[in-house]
Each structure stands twice: as structure tokens, then as C-alpha cells.
Amino acid sequence: MIKKFIVAGIQLSFTEQPKENLKKTISWVKKAAKQGANVICLPELYRSQYFCQKEDSKTFDLAETIPGVSTNVFQKIAKENKVSIAVPIFEKRTAGVYHNSLVMIDADGKILGTYRKMHIPDDPAYYEKYYFTPGDLGFKTFKTKFGKIGTLICWDQWFPEGARLTTLQGASVLFYPTAIGWHPSEIERFGEAQRDSWITIQRSHAIANGVYVCSVNRTGFEQPVKEQAGIQFWGSSFICDPQGVILAKASTDKEEIIMAEINLDHLENIRRNWPFLRDRRIDAYNDLTKRFLD
């Protein structure tokens, strides 16, 4: 078992041109590999702008199959650069059935499997229920060449159940590719509190589960509908250790790579001293499968 490996998150901004986004992302993946990354994660829906700000049936044309455009490219990139890559895509499963998904590609170029986003939001300018069928593959951990990687996507990051169930499959790090930002009218009043909540909840998953967390956001302003206010993505991608200590953090407004070491001995030490998994009362949690306790 490899005791240490390097994970990287690539924070980028995106245009309305999928080919341009793909080309740029390839360049950044190669850059991260040259800097020593072993496992690399891209932002949610990396090949387009965040189209869920509107409901438009033509947008389904952006979806791709598995295998397809992204997997064909990144299988080759992964093999050439000897890196594992978490590739979030807009998946076309069949006519009329689409998912917000992630394909895990190992360092030999092989596809290890697919994760489909389990929690689908429906908020102003985040109209995901129109586009995405809820995931039906369950929570997933992938055994890469370097270690066991858990993958969740964006809205999943607010739910402790997803982090727990992924950790219980042996993940040493949880990746959260995401697309989250501010409604411009709310930045001044709520902006800092919203971003702080986002960071805090994910750090809490790291602490409660004794795992590393790598959250990878996009940055930049996107306004696909000129009559709408658009979204200012807040970047701030980060990596924290099993105590919630921030190991790397990106800016709010720049394209950049964040990197940190995953150290299984450190993880072991934290879990020995904070044995939350040991002390779980699994005999008392049946009510968690209920919507609400009336």
C-alpha cells in the first residue's frame, strides 16, 4: 500500500465554448502532473459554463456518453502522464435520461467507474432538477493506483450521510468537484457567511470521518441569460486534512492548482486519537432512513 501520494484540484473559469474549455483543462492537467500530482480532480461540469442558471432543452446537446469525448481524451492524458483523474461530466445515459456524473480514470488510462450525483438541488439559478436524474449507483469509492478515492459532487457536500457512507468504503480522501458562487445581489450582505458555511461543512466531514477532503470549485462570472443576474463563482478551492486543517487554499478569482500530500500514517494517527468510527452507535441509527420523525 502506498502510504503517501499527492492530490491536486484545478480551479478554472470557463467559456461558452466546450472545445476551448477542454483544451484549456488538458493543459492544466498536464501542468499539475508536471508539478508532482498523482490524483487530479477537475471542477463540476468542466466542459461548459454552469448552464443550470436557465431551463432550456437545447442545453441537453452538451451532454456526452461514457465512453465519449471526455473519457477518450483523459484516458490518454492519464496514461501518458501516469496520473489518476476525476473527470466530472454532463452524462447522456440514454435519450431523455441525463446525469451529473464523474468518471474516475486510473493512471494506466483505464476507467475505474462512474459516480452519479445523488443530491440534486433546485434553487434560483441552480435549476438542476430540470437537467439531472438523481444518481442510482450509490456512493462510490475507487481504488486507484495511489489510493482509495471517494467522489461526491457539489450539492452532495452539504450532506453528512454521503461523506460517511463513502468513507465507510475505505476512502482516504473525498473529492468534491463543485460549481458554487454568489448571486451578485447577495454578496455584500450574505457572501462571506455563505462561503464560510461551505468551507465549514466540508471541513466537518473531514473531521467526523477522519479523511482528507479536496473541494474543487470554478471561478469567474457567468451570465448565460443576459436578463438574469448571473453567478459570481467564489473559487476558494481547498484541501484539508483529517483534523480539518487547511493544507492548501485557492483565491476567489484566479485560475490555479491546489496540491497537498495524503499521508495514511497521519490519517491513522488522527483516527486512533479521535476514534469517531469506532464509537458509532450503529444499533441506534435506524431512524436516519426516515424523512422526519413526527
CA distance 175 to 32: 16
Buried b (16+ CB within 10 A) or exposed e, 224-251: beeeeebbbbbbbbbbbbbebeebbbbe
92, β-bridge pairs: 98
Cα–Cα distance, 101 to 87 (Å, whole number): 8
What is the DSSP annotation of 106-162?
A: -TTS-EEEEEE-----EETTEEGGGT-PPP-S-SEEEE-SS-EEEE--GGGGG-HHH
**Grid coordinates belonging to 202:** 466540508
Q: Residues with catalytic annotation? A: 44, 117, 154
Cβ atoms of 103 and 93 within 8 Å: the answer is: no
Do the Cβ atoms of 263 and 269 come closer than 8 Å? no
What does the buried/exposed string (b/e) look like for 199-211 if buried means 16 or more CB atoms within 10 Å of the residue's CB?
A: beebbebbbbbbb
For residues 76, 81, 85, 91, the Cα torsion angle rounded to the nearest 10 degrees is -20
Are the CB atoms for 3 and 263 separated by under 8 Å?
yes
Find all residues with CB under 8 Å of 256, minimum gap 6, and list them: 11, 250
Is 198 within 8 Å of 235 (Cβ atoms)? Answer: no
Cα angle at 211 between 206 and 213, to 5 degrees?
60
